[in-house]
Structure 1
Amino acid sequence: MNFKQLEAFYWLSQFGNHRQTAEFLGLTQPAVSARIHSLEKDLGKTLIDRDAQGFVLTDQGLEVAEFAVQFLNLREAMMGRLQDKKKRRLTVGLAGMAALTWGPLLRDAADADGEIMLDIYSGSDLQLRGFVEAGTLDAAFTASGDRVCADFGVQYDVGWVAHPDVIAGRSLPMPPEELRALPLVLYPKTSPLFNPVAEYVEEMRDQPAPRHYGNSLATICDMVRKGYGASALALTALEQDIAAGRVVEIPATEPLPPLVVACTHANRARRKQVDTVLGLAREAALAWCAEHGRYASFTDL
């Protein structure tokens, strides 16, 4: 088994098409097929169900695809560090809320430092957890997981928001049973915000109105702006829209718990460089919260 086989199989699992995979990798279709067959032979497992209609992975194929992406991520991380002779290039994962708030200040601080080249990965907690497990990230700031190293976090107030038309004519504040009757825009079930909201509106018991799902904070915010439904969000994400009246905050009889984003992973092997980035992150978060205190606050952990 070699890296080229895994690379071909991973991208085939993503595209589900030999032609697209070949074009992406700069290979011929027979070359892609040869690498897949060779990988199956080396592993002694059938990875693709060739009797199924369309492209379908076997159970073993699904497992190998998960391992393959970790190999690709590790290779990317290794090559990036080897190319940086001073080993000052660091990768930091930021949950979507952090990336859109104090993340730009962290980026600017790293640029001004002059000795650090900072690569930022933004994604959901689940996505960043995968990058941590693959060894791609030097540090990660998420809303779930054990707090490590850094002694600070940013607390974001969470509340219900919607386009004004969605709640027109309804009495306020709204109890859970009335919120449940609204069309809702929800986070994926893998998000740390899904379970509290699902419990709040008894989501698993009753769905009297449409339920829409967004795969990122930015997407959910756009769906709220366009009137898809109400959503429970970190309010600072729509602070300007709320101030302008494009979106309204919905008073509720039962509050939602805040979202706290803090450091949940730090690379011990590069502790000195990571500590420098954590110091810059603390300053960036503190400065941002000082300017945006309506819906967020800096907290010492």
Structure 2
Amino acid sequence: MNLKQLEAFYWLSQFGKHRQTAEYLGLTQPAVSARITALEKDLGKTLIDREADGFVLTDQGLEVAEFAVQFLNLREAMLGRLQDRHKRGVSLGLVGMAALTWGPRLREALLAELPEMTIDIYLGSDLQLRRLVEAGTLDAAFTASGDRARGADFGVEYQVGWVSRGDVIEGLPQPMSPDDLRALPLVHYPKTSPLFNPVADYVDDMAERTAPRHYGNSLSAICEMVRLGYGASALPLAALENEIASGKVVEIAATEGLAPLHVACTHANRARRKQVGQVLELAREAARAWCRDHGRYSSFEDL
């Protein structure tokens, strides 16, 4: 098995036609077919259902296609690094809470302290950042799940609580029990988010619930949905600190507390430890300074 075979198979899985795949790769159709046949022989698996109407991958073919794109991404990442003559760029992944709290301070510090270094920042969910790490795209990543990276000795703890616009809970007594909260229109994270499991019990059966359930695909989207009155949500309160202080959003007292959210560096590229180490040191100071100024809902952690 080699990368040329995987490349041919991946693009065939995307186009579904040998002719388009051959044109894209600059090959002949027989050459594409030969690479696919050789890949199937090396793996000992049938990847294409040749008895189906049209182009259809087998179950094994679907799995190989998923792995193939990861191999190709890793190849591109490696070639990009090797071709970077100056090696002055660092790609940094930040989960939503980090990007929206101490992230701006980190960016300012990077511009001031490392002006010669290009920093590319990727904002995404834990799942999205994990996939970028697996593809070799990121040099460092701060997420809310996964094991702490070697050499990363700090994190930030965010207090999680229920919030909504005032009219959503107007006239309702507090503190609210889980049943009281369950009766409200709720805004949730996707099931892949670390914030979903703590409130999973509030997403009751469709036939029994009495209020809508809304879903956002990012922290920013969910915060905006809360501001607009879609419903109540369990969020790291620091994300809406200004709105809570101004009264635009209210913190809901609950009879049962929620576990805090911890964000730390879960990936650091050891092959580029010098550049990554510089970024992590500035990130440490940015997070510490932000928590010092916003201590109501967050705290700095020495790990």
TM-score category, normalised to shorter length? 0.7 to 0.9
Equivalence for 1:100? 100
Equivalence for 1:114? 115
Q: CA 1:50–1:240 in 2, change beyond 3 Å: closer, same or farther? A: farther
Confirm whether residue 220 of structure 1 aligns to residue 216 of structure 2: no
Q: Is the 8 A contact 1:5 1:35 kept in 2?
A: no
Q: Is the 8 A contact 1:81 1:89 kept in 2?
A: no
Percent of pairs with identical residues? 69
Q: What is the DSSP-based 3-state SS (H/G/I as helix, E as strand, rest coil) of the residue aligned with 2:238?
A: helix
Equivalence for 1:183? 185
Match among 31, 37, 45 for residue 41 of structure 1: 37
Equivalence for 1:89? 89
Q: CA 1:4–1:292 in 2, change beyond 3 Å: closer, same or farther? A: farther
Which structure's CA Rg is the greater one? 2
- Cα deviation, residue 64, structure 1: 2.6
- Following the alignment from structure 1 to structure 2, what is the Cα–Cα distance between the partners of residues 167 and 35? 66
Unaligned 5+ residue runs, structure 2?
A: none
Equivalence for 1:193? 195
Which stretch shifts more, 151-160 or 225-234? Answer: 225-234
Q: What is the DSSP-based 3-state SS (H/G/I as helix, E as strand, rest coil) of the residue aligned with 1:192?
A: coil
Aligned residues: 294
Equivalence for 1:155? 157
- The one-letter code sitting in structure 1 at the alignment partner of 2:176 is M
- Following the alignment from structure 1 to structure 2, what is the Cα–Cα distance between the partners of residues 89 and 78? 14
- Cα deviation, residue 134, structure 1: 2.5
- The one-letter code sitting in structure 2 at the alignment partner of 1:136 is T
Equivalence for 1:126? 127
Match among 250, 253, 257 for residue 251 of structure 1: 253
- Following the alignment from structure 2 to structure 1, what is the Cα–Cα distance between the partners of residues 54 and 215? 27
Equivalence for 2:73? 73
- Cα deviation, residue 180, structure 1: 1.1
Match among 220, 239, 242 for residue 240 of structure 1: 242
| TM-score of the superposed pair, with normalisation by structure 2 | 0.81
- Following the alignment from structure 1 to structure 2, what is the Cα–Cα distance between the partners of residues 258 and 87? 38
Q: CA 1:206–1:265 in 2, change beyond 3 Å: closer, same or farther? A: farther
Equivalence for 1:287? 289
Q: Is the 8 A contact 1:17 1:55 kept in 2?
A: no
| TM-score of the superposed pair, with normalisation by structure 1 | 0.82
- Cα deviation, residue 245, structure 1: 2.8
- The one-letter code sitting in structure 2 at the alignment partner of 1:143 is A
- Following the alignment from structure 2 to structure 1, what is the Cα–Cα distance between the partners of residues 187 and 54? 32
Equivalence for 1:260? 262
Residues 11-40 of structure 1: CA deviation (Å, up to 9, x unaligned): 786xx7779xx7xx9x67x98998976664
**Equivalence map 1:22-33=2 (5 Å):** none
Unaligned 5+ residue runs, structure 1?
A: none
- Cα deviation, residue 198, structure 1: 1.2
Match among 174, 181, 192 for residue 176 of structure 2: 174
- Following the alignment from structure 2 to structure 1, what is the Cα–Cα distance between the partners of residues 248 and 53? 47
- Following the alignment from structure 2 to structure 1, what is the Cα–Cα distance between the partners of residues 248 and 50? 51
- Cα deviation, residue 243, structure 1: 2.7
- The one-letter code sitting in structure 2 at the alignment partner of 1:243 is A
Residues 165-215 of structure 1: CA deviation (Å, up to 9, x unaligned): 32122111111111111121111111111111114x374798513222222
CA RMSD of aligned residues (A): 3.4
- Cα deviation, residue 244, structure 1: 3.1
- Following the alignment from structure 2 to structure 1, what is the Cα–Cα distance between the partners of residues 270 and 37? 38
Equivalence for 1:269? 271
Which stretch shifts more, 164-173 or 32-41? Answer: 32-41
Q: Is the 8 A contact 1:180 1:207 kept in 2?
A: no
